[in-house]
Chains A and B, each alone.
Chain A
Amino acid sequence: MRLTKADKWLTGALLAAAAGGIALNMLLLSGVGAQEARVYKEGKLVQTIRLRPGYHEELRLGGQERYNLIVADNGRVRIAEADCPDQVCVRTGWVSLAPQQIVCLPYRVVIKVVSSEPPDVDDITK
């Protein structure tokens, strides 16, 4: 079983696309300086939590059941606890740098880390 030329081209092209996407990701969205976590539930912005050293905040989304417990501490944020079936959000762990995000699909919760000062194109081109 050998790879054909087309196999290698396809794999190479996908690898290049992925690498390019990751590079673009870092360039466009990565933040230096102040970061904040935007918490979305069902597509709507619920709360913005500041991420800075020494700052602690907890936020509980949902009711007695179907909840996510979001903890921001010392410049990082994570979902500490949730009763969703897959626990993907909890296992994602701490995030602290844009463009990292935490997603809880079952409860449609997204936490995005963004730079408080939005990077504008001029910063990148210069």
Chain B
Amino acid sequence: MVDTRRLIILGLLVAIAGVLHAVEGWLPLPVPVPGVKLGLANIISLVAIVLYGWRDALAVAAVRVVLGTLLGGAFLGPSFALGISGALASTVAMAYACRRWRPALSLVGVSVLGAAVHNLAQISVAALLVSSATLLWYLPYLILFALPTGLATGFTAAFLLARLPAAGR
């Protein structure tokens, strides 16, 4: 069954996530920890999960990373490995949390969890890439910064979803 509206909106979500991710790369963050990011594309993953479920959300995340690294010339490089692992792991975690714990855990909590899992997946892959397990010691610092960014992206996604016209669903 071809659902044109769904396809168009998913395509738009991929485009928005790609742009957010690119823009975020240009913003210098005044933190002493390299690797800390705002995770703006996380907003789109959350929206995709709520609107269309985990399958489509995973597709949006994967296509966003593949397109983004293809255009940036980093396809299949280390930053691709980092991007895809973080995007897929956090989307899976957030989709699971949405389905299992949602009334108790709000979208903001889901977002915080997603941000933490994103960092966990990325630092694990980075540790594998450089064959150095001590890189994992870095995780607490990343999680510390993931909390405020996860809260911020969670609130943004919640406000966005509250204001989307019902026709979008």
Contact = CB atoms under 8 A, between A and B. Distances in A.
A107 to B, nearest CB: 9
A53 interface: no
A5 interface: yes
A105 B159 CA distance: 36
A15 B131 CA distance: 28
A47 interface: no
Q: Among A7, A11, A40, A92, which residue has the most Cβ atoms of chain B within 10 A?
A: A7
A14 B126 CA distance: 21
B147 A14 contact: yes
Interface stretch (A18-26, A59-67, A70-78, A118-126): A18-26
A18 B141 contact: yes
A19 B144 CA distance: 8
B105 A1 contact: no
Interface of B is mostly: helix
Nearest to A20: B140
A85 B74 contact: yes
Contacts of B35: 88
A6 B113 CA distance: 11
Nearest to B72: A85
A101 B141 CA distance: 13
Contacts of B158: 1
B20 interface: no
B18 to A, nearest CB: 18
B130 A110 contact: yes
B112 A14 contact: yes
A17 B78 contact: no
A117 interface: no
20 contacts: A1-B155, A4-B106, A6-B101, A7-B106, A18-B141, A18-B143, A21-B137, A21-B139, A25-B140, A29-B137, A85-B77, A101-B134, A101-B135, A103-B126, A105-B130, A106-B77, A106-B79, A109-B130, A110-B135, A112-B132
Interface of A: 1-7, 10-11, 14-15, 17-22, 24-25, 29, 40, 42-43, 85-86, 88, 91-92, 99, 101, 103, 105-106, 108-110, 112
Given A21-B140, A101-B134, 12 more contacts: A1-B159, A7-B109, A18-B147, A20-B140, A22-B140, A40-B131, A42-B130, A42-B131, A92-B34, A110-B130, A110-B135, A112-B132
Interface of B: 34-35, 73-74, 77-79, 82, 101, 104-106, 108-109, 112-113, 116, 126, 129-132, 134-135, 137-141, 143-144, 146-147, 151, 155, 158-159, 162
